[in-house]
Chain A
Amino acid sequence: MAAPRVIVVGAGPAGTRAAEVLVAAGLRPLVIDEAADNGGQIYRRQPAGFRRRAEALYGTEAGRARAVHGVFSALRGRIEHWPQSLAWQLRDGALQVERGGRAHRLEFDRIILATGATDRLLPIPGWTRPGAFSLGAAQIALKAQACAIGRRVVFLGSGPLLYLVAAQYVKAGATVAAVLDTAPASARRAALPLMASRPSLLVKGAALLWRLKRAGVPVHHGVTPLRIEGESRVTGVVFRDSTGRERRLEGDAVGMGWHLRAESQLADLAGCAFDFDPVSRQWLPRIDVDGRSSVDGVYLAGDGVRLAGADGAELGGRLAALAVLQDLGLPAPAGVDAAALRRGLARMERFRQGLAIAFPWPGELIAALPDETLVCRCEAITAGQLRRGATTLEAPEMNRAKAFTRVGMGRCQGRFCGIAGAEILSAARGEPMQAAGRIRSAAPVKPLPVAIELETP
């Protein structure tokens, strides 16, 4: 009998750990990733020729990053690795991949999707100006290019990454104008009981705040962002502070983000069922405790489904691989304990719920955005156009609004406007956010070259 063909999409912490377990069980999985090197976004490796040590790049997570990189290096030769490869469609038991300008159709017995996440964004006036970047972008500029996104950077958003990136900028010698957190200070106290499930992370968070304070970086809680100023580029940020006072900060760059948004397009194309997750206020693929999706043969792990962060992704990757082995009738490798992995994920799930309380998604700010705010960056569709779609044109949900207004119809396929768009549409119709649904994914997952060469049979 031929060995079962298992594909892992994504070479971040979840994909790496999944591949590790599969290899330990005697399989030779194919690992596909868009990046030139493994590590995913969180443990993204700097290009060849860069010399900073892991401690400089990953801070307190250097040990974990080294471990994940080490595991992947040890797998070389025992897996097939396709870097710089775009998995652009998944259906009917075949994955469509573009690699080096050539099209490939890959059949599989089982597939693990470990496709990660991006920043979750809310639009504010001016957020398309040069100098406005996502928080993740601010971190990648530093990690992978040893650059700051500006000379004087404002960090805006909410969530642990907001403080982490600001502190990393301070440490790297960049000037941080301020940290603007939309969450009120009181929210964190309410979240403490749940967040106590991971005390070490609470300590790390406190250390970040202390570092910012020591560097003299102002931290404002409970802000309402009003606009990013500047015509041809960012010149400042205007916000209302928690006392209601309108303030302006000078700066030439903004790093903004509100936690994570799952990259779930391949799961959607494969036909996986999705549910609305009230914690993260987004639609996530439905999985069982180990990561089996609703579609036979399709498994999910990491931030593309659980949003439990890098540590959780490692656990989820291992669990999904164990589920694959079990479903193939193969024994689990020694030393990988499914019950312990599940317990670990349950603890992280409590912490995630705490985070959502401590750093809530400010949906009400989005609902109140001025009509002229660009919501869809790709198609330059405004909040007002979307509201007209929801009311005058009677679009009850996002796909209908997309058809009428082109919101989410552009190059990024709604990655950066879909969630905010659902807030605006549902608010305009006076309905809960989940009534607005989610933009259905369409192939290709990312832009595909018309000049692609066909596979020769």
Chain B
Amino acid sequence: MAMGGAGPLLQRLDELARPAVTLAVDGQVVTALEGDTVLTAVLLHGAVLRQSEFGDGPRAGFCLMGACQDCWVWTEQGTRLRACSTPVTPGLRIVTLEVPWPRLG
């Protein structure tokens, strides 16, 4: 099995019978399930949550329990979410590539 590439990081094993929720990640429409965290929703479609501020590459969370603070993502509107401890909500628009700061006006 070849590893790497652009596929998802996480793999869903169970609990498939939940209502769908739609969100956007870097402008792409992504379907998640109710009860997914933002981290789960994003990493079931890709392998990156954010870019390290210090040039050492992409990050995709680490502890999943709100301790390591390595999964803070931005919304298009410029708010911050800790992806591992925030449940998805319909219409959420996440950006993993650019940083919408400072928001002016």
Chain A contacts to B: CB under 8 angstroms: 34-36, 41, 46-52, 118-119, 128-134, 136-137, 140-142, 144-152, 172-174, 230-236, 250-253, 263, 374, 377-380, 410-412, 415-416, 446-447, 449
Contact = CB atoms under 8 A, between A and B. Distances in A.
A150 B62 contact: no
A233 B18 CA distance: 29
Find the residue from B34, B47, B58 having the highest chain A CB count within 10 A.
Answer: B47
Nearest to A48: B35
A323 to B, nearest CB: 27
B67 interface: yes
Nearest to B54: A380
B67 to A, nearest CB: 5
A253 to B, nearest CB: 7
Given A137-B64, A236-B3, 15 more contacts: A41-B65, A49-B18, A49-B34, A128-B57, A134-B62, A136-B65, A137-B61, A145-B35, A148-B13, A149-B10, A150-B11, A152-B1, A230-B3, A412-B67, A447-B72
B85 interface: yes
Contacts of B13: 142, 146-148, 172-174
A52 B56 CA distance: 39
A130 B58 contact: yes
Contacts of B65: 41, 118, 136-137, 140
A128 B52 contact: yes
Interface size class of B (residues with CB under 8 A): 35 or more
Interface string B6-26: 000111111101110000000
B14 A34 contact: no
B87 A251 contact: no
B3 A140 contact: no
A146 B4 contact: no
29 contacts: A34-B85, A36-B87, A46-B35, A51-B15, A128-B57, A131-B60, A132-B62, A133-B64, A136-B65, A137-B62, A137-B63, A140-B65, A145-B35, A145-B36, A145-B40, A146-B12, A148-B11, A152-B3, A173-B13, A174-B11, A230-B4, A233-B4, A252-B3, A253-B9, A380-B53, A410-B69, A412-B70, A415-B67, A447-B69
A262 to B, nearest CB: 12
Contacts of B48: 130, 232-233
Nearest to A148: B11
A151 B62 contact: no
A34 B12 CA distance: 26
A173 B64 CA distance: 21
B44 interface: yes
B67 A231 contact: no
Contacts of A150: 9-11
Find the residue from A131, A140, A230, A233 having the highest chain B CB count within 10 A.
Answer: A233
A91 to B, nearest CB: 22
Find the residue from B13, B17, B48 having the highest chain A CB count within 10 A.
Answer: B13
B72 A411 contact: yes
Interface in B34-52: 34-37, 40, 43-44, 47-49, 52
Contact of A136 (B44, B58, B64): B64
A234 B47 CA distance: 10
B39 to A, nearest CB: 8
Interface in B70-85: 70, 72, 80, 84-85
Given A47-B87, A252-B4, A232 B57 contact: yes
Given A130-B60, A133-B64, A147 B12 contact: yes
Contacts of B67: 118, 263, 412, 415-416, 446
B51 to A, nearest CB: 11
A133 B34 CA distance: 23
A130 B47 contact: yes
A136 B14 contact: no
Contacts of A152: 1, 3
Contacts of B64: 133-134, 136-137, 140-141
